[in-house]
Amino acid sequence: MPTFLHHALLACGFLTRLVPARVATADDMAAAVRWFPLAGLVVGGACWLPFALGLAASHPAIQAWLYVLINLWVTRGLHWDGVADLADAWGSSATGERFWDILKDSRIGAFGVMGLLLGFGGQYIGAHEIFISGRLGVLIAAPIVGRGACVILAALVPPGSRSTLGRLTCAGADRIAIGVAATCGILVLLLTTPVITTVTTIAICGAIVTALAHLARREGGINGDFMGACIAGCEGAVLLAASMG
């Protein structure tokens, strides 16, 4: 199998359930980071296709709920675990080792629940407006932009001492990966939204990445929870910005 195809399949197998997971070396996983936007395309395509075929047509509220559900199923809810964990750690106002203890705790607290409700609610509202407007291409754009933003975040902050998969993502977030992520994100936004909406979306996603990078630097590094929160947050930003554009 060609090396590039192996790395592409690794990215898709890691970030979605639609491609079988593969055993890989640390170097291969780092190389797969360049293909994160492709994994976003796979997720976006899976979320877009049922509605392009007419699923729940004329019922945008139901379509929006199904969109959130399909997204969760395709990704195994991987990124939302990061939202809950990071919300608990940040909301507790803890710092240092206590911050990381809360971040790594598998139990969910009040802030984690609030983070999930706000995140799911934002995606639902954004998707609802997208279905009303009929601009279904945004459903493909959102996952691509989200995973591209994750690559950029990984390039801005070194991994924390207790990071595992996050360390591999940081190692793979080189200049080529950043260029691919930024180019794919900008192009797909220009293809699916007006220019002013593209600019607004980039600004909002930039603010999300900057805020997460600032928090990670304060706490001594980044891990997969930060990246999952970045993906989910930027997906929601695309949907909400496009719904208002």
Domain that holds residue 138: 37-244
Q: Which of 44, 30, 14, 39 is nearest to 176 (CA)?
A: 30
3 part of a folded domain? no
pLDDT of residue 67: 98
Domain count within the chain: 1
pLDDT of residue 144: 98
Are 209 and 153 within 8 A, CB to CB? yes
164 part of a folded domain? yes
23 part of a folded domain? no
Q: Which of 196, 200, 226 is nearest to 211 (CA)?
A: 226
Between CA 186 and CA 201 the distance in angstroms is 10
177 part of a folded domain? yes
- Residue 119 φ/ψ region, left for φ over 0, alpha for ψ in the -120 to 50 degree band, beta for the rest: alpha
Low-confidence stretches of the chain (pLDDT beneath 50): none
Are 173 and 232 within 8 A, CB to CB? no
pLDDT of residue 161: 79
1 part of a folded domain? no
pLDDT of residue 164: 76
194 part of a folded domain? yes
* 48-68 per-position pLDDT tens digit: 999 999 999 999 999 999 999
25 part of a folded domain? no
201 part of a folded domain? yes
